[in-house]
Amino acid sequence: MQQPESVRPLTTERHHPTGDTHELRPRETEQGNPFTFTPQLIHLHKDHELFEDGDITRHMYLQDLYISEADDKPTLSVSEFACHISGCSAVFSTLEEYEHHYNSLHRHVCCSCRRSLPSARLLDIHIQEWHDSLFAILAQRQDMYQCLVEGCGQKFRTSKLRKDHLIRLHKYPPDFRFDKTKKDRGTRETKRQQQKDTAMEVADDVCESEGVCEVMCDVLSNQLEHGESMETHVSQEEARMAKSDSTEEHADLSAAAHGAGNTSTEATKPRYSYRVPTSVCFGHGSVRGFRGRRGRRK
């Protein structure tokens, strides 16, 4: 039910007398400025919900039920925080929880395969070993696989050798989650099939409304659940997506979809849009997921 409330817009630069019904004008004359705030006078009608509590107190008083000290302390509530990442429905009661969640699960994300790594270093290593074709070539001749332990510095010819090293010297468990090889990617676990795939749902919504191609939907639905950052899954499309040629293909598709779907500046600069296929990165390995352009952070 609509609340009877009226809001009168104010033209920004000069004050105008009442009765003017100027349209809201953005403050800047810049093209495509998305910020819409202007000061607004708010008139509240008698039955507005904002007035409910005060009205009740008034009538309790009229009916001789008023007492100055409230029976129960009214609940003053504090805003919750919510993760911004579309598809992640995590909610928190403190900022610390939010930060912890974000730093653990979203910060170091590979934009090629959307895997979340716990640190910048591991992310770098991951990108290098999984998505860098140059690495694959060099690795045939040199020791390229770095030890994962910071400060160790040793390099190995194969990932198996590195793994042995990690187990032997650094006492790592044999199934260390952040050292899967590409060949370790198993089939998608059934457990995850049953989980509510919010990323998929959101993707569907977006796809339906924006008319994005089906292949993109598949890509998005293959995204990992955030809690299972290191679990692998295999699909033919994903294997394809990792290669740069199909990347461009999909970039074109997405750009076309964007062009049809909306007129925002994102159509030409898909870098930061959720709807951009995950494998589009400008310069594989240089822009890393959410770390973007601002450089390394400790």
Partner 1 sequence: MWRLNKVRHKAAGRHGDSLEELKLKRREHERALRQARRDRQLVSKRLLLNEDEDQPEVTMDTNSGEQDVVSLFHKLQQTGSEREARLKALSKALRDPSAQLAFIKQENSMHLLVGFLTGSDATCRLQAVRCLHELSHSPHTNVAPACLPATPYLLTYLSGQSTKFTELCLYTLGNLCPESDVVKEKLLAQGIIPALANCIENQRHNLAVVEAVGFTLSQLLQAKDAAEKIIPMVLASSLPSHLLSVLTPDPDFGLAPAIECAWCLHYLTCSTEDNRVLLAHGALLKCSSLLVSLGAAVAEGNKEEGMELLICPLLRCVGNLLSSCPVEDLSTQVGDVHIVVALCALLQAYLQTQPALARESAWVLNNLTAYSSALCSALLTFNLVPGLIQLLPFSQGINTMILRALANIAHKKKEFCVQLAHLGLLSALCATLKMADQEMVTLSMDVLFMLVVSGPQVAEEFVRQSGLSLLEAIQYNSKGDIRRRATHLLEHHLLSYSVDTPCS
Residues 248-267 that bind partner 1 (CB under 8 A): 262, 264-266
Binder of partner 1 out of 2, 62, 193, 245 (CB under 8 A): 62
Residues 173-212 that bind partner 1 (CB under 8 A): 202
Task: Choose one: 44-52, 129-137, 157-165, 244-252; the region binding partner 1 (CB under 8 A).
Answer: 44-52
The smaller minimum CB distance to partner 1, of residues 172 and 274, is found at 274
84 belongs to the binding site for partner 1 (CB under 8 A) = yes
Q: Is 104 near partner 1 (CB under 8 A)?
A: no
Number of residues engaging partner 1 in binding (CB under 8 A): 90
State how far the Cα of 202 lies from the Cα of 86, in Å rounded to an integer. 7
Tell me if 52 contacts partner 1 by CB under 8 A.
yes
Q: Show the tokens assigned to 259.
A: 């062009």
Stretch of 60-68, 112-120, 167-175, 244-252 contacting partner 1, by CB under 8 A: 60-68
Instruction: Give the type of residue at 2.
Output: Q
Q: For 284, which DSSP code? A: T
Over the Cα atoms of the chain, what is R_g?
A: 27
| Residue 232 CB coordination number (10 Å) | 19
Report if residue 24 touches partner 1, rule: CB under 8 A: no
Element (DSSP H or E) covering residue 108: strand 108-109
Binding to partner 1 by residue 47, rule CB under 8 A? yes
Cα distance between residue 185 and residue 124, in whole Å:
19
By CB under 8 A, residue 138 contacts partner 1: no
Burial of residue 202 (number of CB atoms within 10 Å: 0-12, 13-18, 19+) = middle
